[in-house]
Structure 1
C-alpha cells in the first residue's frame, strides 16, 4: 500500500493548485493531498485531505481514481501516491488565492498548469494529469529520476483489482 495521495480539483478550465510552502516540492505548484492515516482507504484519505486543505466537502461520486504515481530514483523504487481528479463545483473553497498551512491555494488555468514550458509546476504533473482529467482508465505513472532530475514518466498498465 502506498502512503500518499494527491487530488486535482477542476472548475471549468481551471485547476485548484497549491504552491507548497514545505518540502518536498517547496515553491512548486501541485495538487492537494497528503498522507494516509492508519485504517484509511486511499479514497477516504483523499476526501479527508481535500476537506482539510480546501474546505470543500466532496463525496465518493465527485472523485475519479486516475491511478498511481510512483518514483524510481537512481534505479530503486522509492514510493508513490494514489492520484485522483475531481470536479469542484461552484461552492466552497472561499476566496482565492488563499494562504494555508501547506502553502498558497489558487485557481490556475489548466493550459498554464500543463504547459511544458512551465517550470513552476511539479515536473511530473504534466505527464500524468492530462489522461486523469480525461478520465482514461487508471494507470501507473512511473516517474524515473536520476541524480535528482526527472528523466521521464512511463505509463504502465495497472491491475485494478489491487486498488478497488
Structure 2
C-alpha cells in the first residue's frame, strides 16, 4: 500500500495545476494530493485533499481511480495512487489563486504535455496522457538514475488489484 495520492482536475482541455511551494518538486507544476491519513482509503484521501487544497467539493461519482505511479532510483523507491476528476464545461474556478501549498492555475493539457516544458516534473507528460485518454487502469513504472528519468513502462492492473485501492484504509 502506498501513502500518497495525486489528483488531476480537468475542465475542458485544461487541468488545475499546483505550482508547489514545498518539497518534493518545489517550484514545479503538479496535480493536487497528499498523504493518506490512518484509517483513510486512497479515494477518501483524494476527495479530502482536493477540498483542502482547492476548496472544490468532489463527490464519489465524479472521481475516477486511474492507477498507480511507481518509481525507483538507486537509493529510494516509492509510489502513489492517481485519480482524475472531470468537471462540467461550465464549471467556474478563478485562477491564479494563492493557497497554502503554492499557486493554483488552469493549464492547457497541450502545455503540460509539451516536450519542451520544464515547468512540470519529467514523469507527468509520460503518464498523464494515459490517465486522460486510456480507459484502462494502469500501473506506471519509472526508473530513475540520480533523479533523472531513464525508463518508463506501463501495464494494466489486474481487476482484483485495481478494485482494492478504493476500499482498504491504511
What range is the shorter-chain TM-score in?
A: over 0.9
Partner residue, 2:69: 69
Distance (whole Å) between structure 2 residues aligned to residue 27 and residue 77 of structure 1: 22
Residue-pair matches, total: 162
The residue number in structure 1 matching 2:7 is 7
Deviation of 1:104 after TM superposition, in Å, equals: 0.4
- Find out whether 1:42 has 2:75 as its counterpart: no
Counterpart secondary structure, 1:163? helix
* Shift of residue 135, structure 1, vs aligned partner: 4.2
- TM-score when normalising by structure 1: 0.93
1:86 counterpart = 2:92 = no
> How far 1:156 sits from its partner (Å)?
2.2
The 5-angstrom pairing of residues 97-108 of structure 1 reads: 97-108=96-107
User: What's the TM-score, normalizing by structure 2?
Assistant: 0.90
Which residues in structure 2 correspond to 1:104-115 (within 5 Å)? 104-115=103-114
Rounded to whole Å, the distance in 1 between the matches of 2:35 and 2:56 is 18
Moved more, 11-20 or 132-141: 132-141
Q: Which has the higher strand share?
A: 1
Q: How many Å separate the matches in 1 of 2:91 and 2:156?
A: 35
C-alpha RMSD of the superposition: 1.4
CA displacement at 1:49 relative to structure 2: 0.4
Shift of 1:60: 1.3
Q: Give the SS at the match of 1:43.
A: helix
Partner of residue 17, structure 1: 17
Give the whole-Å Cα distance in 2 for the aligned partners of 1:38 and 1:162.
21
- Whether contact under 8 Å (1:67, 1:140) holds in the other structure is yes
Whole-Å Cα distance in 1 between the matches of residues 106 and 69 of structure 2? Answer: 23
1:22-37 pair list within 5 angstroms = 22-37=22-37
Q: Is the 8 A contact 1:56 1:92 kept in 2?
A: no
